[in-house]
Amino acid sequence: MRTLSLTARLTLIFTLVTTTSFALVGVLLFKAASQRIIEQDETNLVLSARHLRRLAGEFAALPDLVAHQDRLVISVLGDASNALRITGSDGQTLVDHNPLHLPLAFPDTIAPDQRLVPTMLESLRDTHGDTVRGMAAAGKLQDGTLITIIVARSLADRQLLLRHYQRDMVRRLLAGMAAAILLGYLLIRQALRPLRTLAGQAATISAHNLGTRLSASNAPPELHALTATLNDMLSRLEEGFSRVWRFTVDLAHDLRTPIGNLRGTNEVALTRPRTSEEYQALLGSNIEECDRVSRMIENVLFLARAESPQFALQRSVFDVGDELQLIGDYFEGIAADAEVDIRVAGHARLLADRDLFRRAVGNLLSNALRYTPRHHAIDVRVEEAPGAIRILVENPGDGIAPEHLDKLFDRFYRVDRARGDSAHSAGLGLSIVRSILDLHGGRVTAESEPSGTTRFTLWFPTAPP
């Protein structure tokens, strides 16, 4: 089933509520009005009967009553639906006024001394099936003669009136309902306009104008939170886009340098004939440059893969001390060339991806080797901390100024771009370290003391997520 629009839903609810209340009020009003009319008629009927009984009591004898029957009939003349019949004790009709030929054979006759009240009224049906209300009450003349006074009223005209009233009410109710639907629809549409405005604003935003923000200045307060949330989302998207953009620019820039170097050295070599040793040296340096470019591409690819949600860690338990020793041995040659010592200490068992662990520590160690002065030592140790295993890589040197510390882990960030010899550094190593720690649910921190000691710490949680 197609889902209804918010306007349609609200209009439906509004219509349902108004129609139900209209109908309820209508039915109650109709009931009250019809009851009131019937009550009024019945009271009139009882009053007429009482009046007639009193009048009859003023007549001396039957002939007197028959002679003055106009005085009796006049009391019911006011309404064409009324009927009056007076009969003697032997059943003969003395007075008869019944223009509508209503049935008047009420089964009970009320005793002459009984007070007449509306509850004594009885019902009969005429030939058309309409109700006739009335009563037969005994009366006494002055000479003690008993007579029966029958008063009645047909309800046909009242039933007709109420049927008209009912039809009228239904017509008005339908018209009211139609007006309510239309008015409700228009008002709800108007009320939802800020939502459409917001959607319109959002529709104009694309990758080219992510700086645009939605405005909720004229919107009701309910929409302010939504607008703020959407704007926050836009800020995050903008930040993400600009990061990707910066990354692309930096990548292009950093690929240009080695390729420029390659081209330059080759061009220079070709300016004049060279010996085969010179060509060999050139090809050797070309291969080195190619290695550098492919290392960089490999690093960029690794970072992209590490960010994808499908990246799966190959976790295993290993001894960190042994692993650090292996990594230290691997860097032994470079350390010897740099005349720097690598000191490894500590033991701990860790559940982590061993290849990524090697890569993270290797990146820290290769940085440390670059910045440690000759005849100094790099300390690599593992310690157990509450809830984490931490690996510290510490080296003496010039240190890193505090303003750079939190940016070190950004891609392509190098403290001194001009000095940092871009032939060997791309500024990707630490961002890879951070990605690896993120994948393990851990973190990496950097500290640099005024003495010049720089310390990087890897925190691997002991209970991985």
* Interacting residues with ligand ATP (CB under 6 A): 363, 367-368, 371, 395, 397, 400, 408, 413-415, 420, 425-431, 454
Q: Please state, in angstroms and rounded to a whole number, the distance separating the CA atoms of residues 5 and 87.
A: 75
CB 388 within 8 Å of CB 460: yes
**Could you tell me the two tokens for 253?**
């820039």
**Cα 118 from Cα 39, distance rounded (Å):** 9
**Rounded distance between C-alpha atoms, residue 365 and residue 328, angstroms:** 8
Nearer to ligand ATP, 48 or 299 (CB): 299
Residue nearest to ligand ATP (CB): 429
Residue 258: name its binding partner from Mg ion, ligand ATP, none (Cβ under 5 to 8 Å by kind): none
* Closest approach of ligand ATP to the CB of residue 428, in Å: 4
Which letter does DSSP use for residue 331 in this model?
Answer: T
Q: Which of residues 405-464 bind Mg ion (CB under 5 A)?
A: 429
Judged by CB, which is closer to Mg ion: 184, or 429?
429
Q: Give min distance, CB of 398 to ligand ATP, in A.
A: 7
How far is residue 266's CA from residue 260's CA, in Å, rounded to a whole number? 10
What is the C-alpha to C-alpha distance for residues 343 and 368, in angstroms, rounded to an integer?
12
Task: Classify residue 449 as exposed, middle or buried by CB count within 10 Å of its CB (0-12, 13-18, 19+).
Answer: exposed
**Which single residue brings its beta carbon nearest to Mg ion?**
429
Kindly tell me which of 42 and 394 has the beta carbon lying closer to Mg ion. 394
Nearer to ligand ATP, 137 or 368 (CB): 368
350 binds, among ligand ATP, Mg ion, none (CB under 5 to 8 A by kind): none
Those residues with Cβ within 8 angstroms of residue 393's Cβ, 6 or more apart along the chain or in another chain: 361, 364, 365, 368, 378, 379, 380, 455, 456, 457, 458
Query: Residue 180 — φ and ψ, nearest 5°?
Result: -65, -40
Among ligand ATP, Mg ion, none, residue 176 binds (CB under 5-8 Å by kind): none
- Residue 184 touches which member of Mg ion, ligand ATP, none, C-beta under 5-8 Å by kind: none
Q: Which stretch binds Mg ion (CB under 5 A): 48-56, 303-311, 362-370, 439-447?
A: 362-370
Choose the contact partner of 132 out of Mg ion, ligand ATP, none; CB within 5 to 8 A by kind: none
For the chain, give me the number of helices (H) and strands (E)?
A: 12, 13
Q: Which is nearer to ligand ATP, 269 or 405 (CB)?
A: 405
Determine the 3-state secondary structure of 55 from DSSP.
helix
Among 81, 227, 261, 367, binds Mg ion (CB under 5 A): 367
Q: Closest CB to ligand ATP among 269 and 306?
A: 306
368 binds, among ligand ATP, Mg ion, none (CB under 5 to 8 A by kind): ligand ATP
* Cα(95)–Cα(101) distance, integer angstroms: 14
Q: Which does 426 bind (CB under 5 to 8 A by kind): ligand ATP, Mg ion, none?
A: ligand ATP
Candidates 14-22, 238-246, 254-262, 366-374; binding stretch for Mg ion (CB under 5 A)? 366-374
Write out the two tokens for 114.
């009984």
In the complex, minimum distance from the CB of residue 367 to Mg ion, in angstroms, rounded to a whole number = 4
Question: Closest Cα partner for 369 from 359, 379, 354, 384?
Answer: 379
461 interacts with, out of ligand ATP, Mg ion, none, CB within 5 to 8 A per kind: none
Interface residues with Mg ion (CB under 5 A)? 367, 429
